């Protein structure tokens, strides 16, 4: 009997050593969760017959440390939840390893080539679609025509009255004495061609500033007069308090500019047009003495661009980048939480699948409900405690020696008995 009990102890210790060795070997594996061998007594009737490994427990709920990687498509989960990925058999796997990339066929995938699950966003919409594979549009982003310019600054109350010339061309630019300040912005036509819109500011009377608009160095016949309250220095025309105006000057239709003279309009490709409704928003512009300043001078629109990669935002949004400097959200990751994550079925060292015991996954975006938030450019490390594992190795060694001693003693006793007989 003693032989069998001691032998079962050695066999159980060998199994426990396998678990400990596997933990130590994966101490550097991202997202790995340490396991523990649970010993269980063997009893026949009312007599003990030895020991075995009754079960193995994986410490899924304990997070590992966070390693900053600097890579924009790495992510770790701060709190509860799992990334969702679909394998080649269309089974949803759950993992804490957030190493992502774009596949050659245009999907967001993890390091194992599994397709990351979430919601695809189709620009210009910003609303996430249905749950599924996240597709990445890797083609050309179309040009967007400019139809609005935002300008905010202080127009000096010290300016002298000036008179702007009626006609301006690249060969006859305005004399500097005919204006007090000019500001240039880049705008885009229907084909994404760049054009220069210049605002020439000049005082026309006390509390009034004329703004003349020149495109590509040519007069386009557009002028507005900004008016200001001489007591407060705030703009009154266009009236920012009027819901119908909101501080905006409507330049109107620019599409009818005659660009047939290539010498005057070299920036226009045949067929390209400017917008039929261009607006300039002067909300926030003031009229105080002293230096004239500009805090905002930016038009919307952009040229076409090619796909240049993706980034991951902290809310799980997948941001596509383009060669023209534009970015747009094309997807959003979803995370899964479980009523009992410890009951998930392990499929490899860092992935699990749903089981009856784990319950149905609750799928949410990062930071919603009990779902954890995302840390971008970082990865979750293994939760293996090397010190504890080494102590476990020493304990297993001591137990192994004790069981070996039992077998050795039993052998000596049997040998003495046989000699006596």
What percentage of the chain carries pLDDT values higher than 90?
78
Q: Provide the domain limits for residue 345.
A: 68-141+307-377
Pair (157, 268) in one structural domain: yes
| C-alpha to C-alpha distance for 344 and 232, rounded to whole angstroms | 67
* pLDDT at 363 exceeding the cut of 90: yes
* pLDDT at 82 exceeding the cut of 70: yes
Pair (185, 291) in one structural domain: yes
Pair (166, 119) in one structural domain: no
Longest dimension (CA), the chain: 132
For residue 379 the two structure tokens come to: 């990865």
What percentage of the chain carries pLDDT values higher than 70?
99
Burial of 255 (0-12, 13-18, 19+ CB in 10 A): middle
Question: In degrees, to the nearest 5, what angle opens at C-alpha 85 toward C-alphas 339 and 73?
Answer: 110
Return the pLDDT at 43: 82
* pLDDT at 299 exceeding the cut of 70: yes
Examine residue 238 and say whether the peptide bond preceding it is cis (omega within 30 degrees of 0). Answer: yes
Return the pLDDT at 1: 58
The domain tally of the chain equals 3
Helix (H, G, I), strand (E, B) or coil at 267: coil
- 22-43 mean pLDDT: 91
- 142-159 mean pLDDT: 97
Return the pLDDT at 276: 95
Return the pLDDT at 172: 94
Q: Which residues contact 410 (CB under 8 A, 6 or more apart)?
A: 2, 3, 6
Chosen domain end from 280, 299, 318: 299
Residue 413: band (very low, low, confident or very high) from pLDDT cuts 50, 70, 90: confident
Least confident of 234-238, 378-382, 390-394: 390-394
Pair (246, 260) in one structural domain: yes
Q: Which residues contact 85 (CB under 8 A, 6 or more apart)?
A: 92, 93, 94, 95, 109, 110, 112, 114, 115, 116, 117, 351
Residue linked to tokens 């390693």: 67
Residue linked to tokens 């790495």: 74
* pLDDT at 20 exceeding the cut of 80: yes
pLDDT tens for 87-108 read: 999 999 999 999 999 999 999 9
Pair (128, 157) in one structural domain: no
């Amino acid at each position: 009997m003693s032989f069998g009990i001691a032998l079962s102890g050695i066999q159980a210790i060998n199994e426990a050593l396998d678990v400990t060795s596997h933990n130590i070997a994966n101490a550097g594996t991202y997202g790995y969760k340490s396991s523990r061998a649970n010993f269980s007594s063997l009893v026949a009737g009312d007599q003990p017959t030895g020991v075995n490994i009754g079960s193995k427990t994986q410490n899924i709920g304990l997070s590992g440390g966070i390693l900053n990687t600097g890579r924009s498509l790495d992510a770790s989960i701060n709190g509860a939840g799992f990334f969702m990925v679909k394998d080649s058999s269309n089974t949803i796997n759950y993992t804490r390893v957030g190493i992502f990339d774009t596949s050659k066929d245009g999907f967001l995938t993890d390091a194992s080539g599994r397709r990351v699950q979430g919601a695809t966003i189709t620009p210009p919409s910003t609303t996430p679609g249905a749950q599924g594979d996240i597709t990445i549009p890797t083609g050309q982003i179309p040009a967007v025509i400019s139809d609005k310019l935002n300008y905010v600054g202080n127009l000096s109350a010290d300016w002298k009255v000036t008179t702007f010339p009626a006609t301006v061309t690249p060969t006859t630019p305005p004399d500097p004495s005919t204006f007090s300040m000019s500001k240039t912005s880049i705008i885009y036509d229907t084909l994404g061609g760049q054009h220069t819109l210049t605002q020439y500011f000049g005082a026309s009377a006390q509390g009034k500033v004329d703004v003349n608009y020149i495109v590509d160095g040519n007069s386009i016949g557009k002028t507005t007069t900004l008016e200001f309250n001489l007591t407060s220095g705030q703009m009154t025309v266009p009236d920012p308090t009027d819901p119908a105006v909101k501080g905006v000057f409507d330049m109107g239709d620019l599409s009818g500019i005659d660009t047939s003279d290539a010498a005057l309009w070299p920036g226009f490709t045949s067929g390209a047009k400017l917008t039929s409704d261009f607006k300039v928003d002067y909300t926030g512009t003031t009229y105080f003495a002293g230096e004239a300043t500009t805090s905002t001078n930016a038009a919307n629109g952009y040229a076409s661009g090619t796909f240049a990669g993706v980034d991951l935002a902290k809310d799980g949004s997948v941001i596509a980048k383009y060669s023209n400097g534009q970015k747009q959200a094309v997807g959003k990751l979803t995370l899964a939480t479980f009523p009992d994550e410890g009951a998930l079925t392990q499929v490899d060292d860092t992935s699990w699948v749903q089981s009856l015991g784990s319950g149905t996954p609750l799928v949410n975006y990062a930071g919603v409900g009990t779902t954890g938030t995302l840390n971008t450019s970082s990865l979750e490390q293994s939760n293996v405690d090397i010190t504890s594992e080494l102590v476990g190795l020493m304990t297993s060694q001591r137990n192994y020696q004790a069981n070996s001693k039992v077998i050795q003693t039993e052998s000596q006793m049997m040998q003495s008995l046989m000699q006596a007989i």
